[in-house]
Amino acid sequence: MNIALVAHDNCKKDLVRWAREHVRELKGHRLICTGTTGRLVREALHDLLGDESPSTPVECLKSGPLGGDLQMGSRIAEGQIDVLIFFWDPMQAQPHDVDVKALLRISNLYNIPTACNVATANCLVSSPALGERPGSTYDFSEYTERHLD
């Protein structure tokens, strides 16, 4: 599966800690991250997995404020993201707030499982559906196609 990982500055430590705690569940999946978050996650996984870390590739897009959120939204619209884990900071205004809202909107529009905090992210990675490609177990086409007309 393609799992997107995004975190605002005040939440990066939480996301890296979460990724370290769930390294076994993430292993073997492809991780797509915005800039700094991706570099931090890649380092954390390499520290834990060593030579095994290539089995969990981490692709880094641009930083969120520099277009990474928009790139992530584009990947969702193209069907290249299966899960979004986005630890956003509800207590701090973001200069790219419009992009943040667009990313959350597009993940909802395309029915992408989205976690915005540790508790929900824990639920997603513990789900038996994590190993399944969306659509293989559940058919959401009626939902998603109604928005495309």
**What region, left, alpha or beta, does residue 135 occupy, with left being phi > 0 and alpha being psi -120 to 50 degrees?**
left
Mean pLDDT of 101-126: 95
Rg of the chain in Å (alpha carbons): 15
pLDDT value at 149 more than 70: no
AA letter at 73: G
Distance, CA of 102 to CA of 82 (rounded, Å): 17
Q: What pLDDT is stored for residue 96 in this prediction?
A: 80
Distance, CA of 40 to CA of 44 (rounded, Å): 6
Mean pLDDT of 85-89: 94
- 2 beta partners: 30
* Percent of the chain whose predicted confidence (pLDDT) is above 90: 64
* Percent of the chain whose predicted confidence (pLDDT) is above 70: 85
Q: What is the pLDDT of residues 26-76, one digit of tens each?
A: 998 999 999 999 999 999 998 888 776 677 889 999 998 899 999 999 999
Distance, CA of 104 to CA of 120 (rounded, Å): 15
- Residues annotated as catalytic (active site), given as ranges: 69
Contacts of 57 (CB under 8 A, 6+ apart): 30, 31
Q: Which domains does the chain have, with CATH numbers?
A: 2-146 (3.40.50.1380)
The dihedral through the CA atoms of 24, 122, 139, 111 has a sign that is negative
